[in-house]
C-alpha cells in the first residue's frame, strides 16, 4: 500500500503573532505512516502575516489572497493547492493543539478501506474543557444541535476547527466565511458520511486578543444551514 498523504490547511487572517508558532509546532510532529504537506493561506491580511508565512517558503506551500474573502474561501484556496489524499483544517490562532492531529488520523481507522468516514475534533467530549465554556460556546452548541436535528446526527461540536476528510469530498467545501464549514458538515451528512469525533484540547482567546467569529456570524451560519437543508444549495 502506498503511504497516504495529509494536507494540513492553515487559513490565516491577521494572525502574524501566532501563525509562525503553529507552523513550527506542526513541522516537529512525527506523523508516523503519513506523508505531510502544510499549506498556509494568507487571507488578505493587513498585518505581518504575509511576511511570517514567506519565512517558511522552503518548507511549506504558501498561498496569498489579494483580499480578505472569509475563512471558507481561504480553506477552499488551500484545498485547491493541495495534493493530499486527506486534508485537515488547522486554525492559525493556537486555540487548539497541533500535536493532537495524529489522534484524529487514528480516528480514520484503515484508510485503505475506502469507507465514507470523516473525523472531527470535539471540545465538548473533553472534560478538561468544561471550565472554558462561555456564552459564545452556547451559540456553538445551538448550531450543533440544529445540525443534529436537521440531519439526524449526534455530533457534539461542529464549530471546532479540526475537520479531517478524504479527497473524495474536497469539492464539497465551498467559498464563504465561517458558514462554509457548517455547510460542508451538512453536505457530508447528507451524502451518508460517518463523522467520528475525537476529544481535543481547547484554549479560547477573547475578541481583544484577535478572535474572529462574532454573534452575527452565528446568525449567518444558522440561516445558511436552514437554506441548504431545504433547498440543497
For residue 69 the three cell numbers come to: 474573502
CB 49 within 8 Å of CB 81: no
- What is the pLDDT at residue 33? 94
DSSP state of 152: T
Mean pLDDT over 177-186 rounds to 92
Structure confidence at residue 38 (pLDDT): 98
Residue 175: per-residue pLDDT: 86
Question: Which pLDDT score is estimated for 206?
Answer: 56
Place of cell 493561506: 41
Q: Check if the beta carbon of residue 203 is closer than 8 Å to that of residue 181.
A: no
Predicted local confidence at residue 217, as pLDDT: 76
pLDDT of residue 205: 57
Quote the pLDDT of residue 140: 83
Q: Which residues fall within 8 angstroms of residue 113, CB to CB, at 6 or more apart?
A: none
Burial of 232 (0-12, 13-18, 19+ CB in 10 A): exposed
Tell whether the model's pLDDT for residue 220 goes beyond 80: yes
Task: Tell me the longest C-alpha to C-alpha distance in the chain.
Answer: 48
Q: For residue range 151-174, what is the model confidence (pLDDT) as tens digits? A: 999 999 999 989 999 999 999 999
Calpha distance 128→199 (Å, rounded): 10
pLDDT at 34: 97
Give the separation between CA 71 and CA 62, rounded to whole angstroms: 16
Alpha-carbon torsion (116, 5, 163, 77), positive or negative: negative
Domains of the chain: 5-231 (3.90.550.10)
Cell of 196: 467520528
Is 58 strand, coil or helix?
A: coil
Query: How many CB atoms are closer than 10 A to CB 127?
Result: 8
CB 222 within 8 A of CB 146: yes
Taking residues 52-56, what's their average pLDDT? Answer: 98
Q: What is the pLDDT of residue 192?
A: 95
> pTM of the prediction?
0.90
Amino acid at each position: 500500500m502506498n503511504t497516504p498523504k495529509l494536507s494540513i490547511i492553515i487559513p490565516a487572517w491577521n494572525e502574524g503573532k501566532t501563525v509562525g508558532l503553529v507552523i513550527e509546532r506542526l513541522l516537529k510532529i512525527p506523523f508516523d505512516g503519513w506523508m505531510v504537506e502544510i499549506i498556509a493561506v494568507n487571507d488578505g491580511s493587513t498585518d505581518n502575516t504575509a511576511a511570517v508565512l514567506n519565512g517558511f517558503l522552503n518548507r511549506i506551500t504558501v498561498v496569498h489572497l489579494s483580499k480578505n474573502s472569509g475563512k471558507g474561501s481561504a480553506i477552499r484556496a488551500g484545498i485547491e493547492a493541495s495534493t493530499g489524499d486527506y486534508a485537515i483544517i488547522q486554525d492559525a490562532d493556537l486555540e487548539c493543539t497541533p500535536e493532537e492531529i495524529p489522534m484524529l488520523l487514528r480516528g480514520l481507522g484503515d484508510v485503505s478501506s475506502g469507507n465514507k468516514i470523516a473525523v472531527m475534533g470535539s471540545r465538548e467530549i473533553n472534560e478538561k474543557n468544561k471550565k472554558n465554556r462561555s456564552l459564545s460556546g452556547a451559540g456553538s452548541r445551538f448550531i450543533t444541535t440544529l445540525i443534529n436535528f436537521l440531519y439526524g446526527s449526534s455530533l457534539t461540536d461542529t464549530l471546532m476547527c479540526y475537520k479531517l476528510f478524504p479527497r473524495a469530498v474536497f469539492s464539497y467545501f465551498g467559498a464563504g466565511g465561517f458558514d462554509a464549514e457548517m455547510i460542508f458538515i451538512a453536505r457530508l451528512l447528507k451524502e451518508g458520511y460517518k463523522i467520528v469525533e475525537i476529544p481535543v484540547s481547547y484554549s479560547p482567546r477573547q475578541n481583544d486578543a484577535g478572535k474572529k467569529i462574532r454573534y452575527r456570524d452565528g446568525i449567518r451560519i444558522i440561516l445558511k444551514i436552514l437554506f441548504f437543508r431545504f433547498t440543497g444549495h
